Amino acid sequence: MKPTLAKPTFTLITGASAGIGKAMAERSAALGQNLLLVALPDNGELSSIANSLAAKYGIEAYCFPIDLAHSEAPEQIWAWIQHQGFGVNVLINNAGVGAIGAFENASVAFYQQLIQLNIMALVKLTHLLLPELKSHPKAHILNVSSLAAFFNMPYKIIYAASKHFVYAFSRALRVELSNTSVSVTVLCPGAVITNPVILERVRQVSPWAENLAWYPEAVADLAIRQMLRGKAVVIPGLLNRLTIWLSWCLPTGLRLQILSYLFGRKHSTAPTILPISTHIPIANDKLTESTSPTFNH
């Protein structure tokens, strides 16, 4: 009697066509993990990434282009996984979007789309895939939050609040799943630089902000390594961790004034868009496709 071949397992990564998500795909492939890549429809770019990684590392890689800002997208992804019979033992919720500007200057529709992408898509995908993840001897969930999760941020109000949700959700879910095979990790990076334009934006925040910034490849390498070790929280950079600690030493009112000055002095009128992963909220308060690089999480 021939032995039954083990079913291949896959890492599902959202926001996988650029920035941290693309770097995580590369790092996961280098470790021999098969890939399921999800990102916005992009005229074949996502498929090209999947094919390139499959050829380079000898893995299986498939893609599913879809806009996670649509409420039904997580169910469509799950239906695709079930139809294809993919076994998923790693879920990386990386897709997200951000904006900077006065709260009253963006529409409710815009905020609904931001919340849908940053919160609801992550929650629904996690809920849909959890039984599948628990069916494996060892599985991981990696949720991408932000350094902003630790701050109340004027002019980045909804974005920072959404990332605090991701942080709080991940920490609590980790406890609920502590007696299962699933480990939950939350990544909280600061600024992530992908090109000179983004670097200039970082420098506009303050002269020292560049020292806190990382590049996506370094963030991805650290995040994947710490996830596989089962770490609860990953904050890249000693200076970023020190910034959080120092901020807690300041009175709340003073901390808010400093943040308001840093982020509000040039963005107190119309919102400025900060691309996260492969989504950007842009003109007319709508999420539209973009190939712009990651600014920060």
Cβ contacts of residue 205 below 8 Å, gap of 6+?
Answer: 191, 262, 263
Catalytic residue among 57, 159, 167, 215: 159
Distance CA 81, CA 220 (A): 24
**DSSP helix, strand, coil percent of the chain (3-state; round to 5):** 50, 20, 30
159 catalytic residue (yes or no): yes
Alpha helices in the chain, H assignment, sequence order: 19-30, 45-57, 73-84, 108-115, 121-134, 157-176, 196-205, 209-212, 216-228, 238-248, 252-264
Is the CB of residue 91 less than 8 Å from the CB of residue 143? no
Query: What is the distance between the terminal CA atoms of the chain, rounded to a whole angstrom?
Result: 52
Which residues are known catalytic residues?
159
